[in-house]
Structures are given as C-alpha cells and as structure tokens.
Structure 1
C-alpha cells in the first residue's frame, strides 16, 4: 500500500470515528467533553475511551 493511500484511509477512518462519537453523544445526551478531539487524533483508542470512561467511577 502506498503511503498516501494509507494516510488518506487513516484520516477518513478517524473522521468517521469522530462523527460516530459526536452523533452518539448528541443522540444519547451524553456530554462529549474532549472525546471527539481525542478520537480524531487517536482513532479507535479515542472511541474506546469515550465508550468506557466513566467520570463518576470512584474505583
């Protein structure tokens, strides 16, 4: 795979993940916070953080 093709695919995936996180937040009424920006930067790691991070978790 060429580098340019890889970079375009990666950017497209990150933008898509960010759109999903943003839409999910608005539909569920969940506060987005910094997660769209983190998802845009880190892709699936940002999605996982958004889904599994609980700010009220005291453990």
Structure 2
C-alpha cells in the first residue's frame, strides 16, 4: 500500500472509532428505550465495521 492509501485507511479507522464512541455516549443519555436501542445498534455497527477493516488489514 502506498503512504497515501495508508493515511486513508488510518482516517477511516479513526472515524469509525470516533462514531462508535459518540453513539455510545449519546445512547447513555437517551431516555426513550426505542431510540436508545437504535443508537446502541449504530454503535455496534461502527464497532463491527472497524473490526472488519482492521482484521482485513491484519490478515495481509
């Protein structure tokens, strides 16, 4: 991978981590159970995406 591609991947991983953290933080503040569950699901999706990208890079 070129240095530019590595920077892009680093940015993507950083954004996924940041979104997971933000969703978790917001979910902890939400009172509505349905909305809270939805935002927790978003947090899980961002964690899952981070893991998939990280594992893909680790396997090469």
Q: TM-score normalized by structure 2?
A: 0.48
Q: More relative contact order in 1 or in 2 (CA 8 Å, sep 6+)?
A: 2
Q: Which has the higher helix share?
A: 2
Q: TM-score normalized by structure 1?
A: 0.48
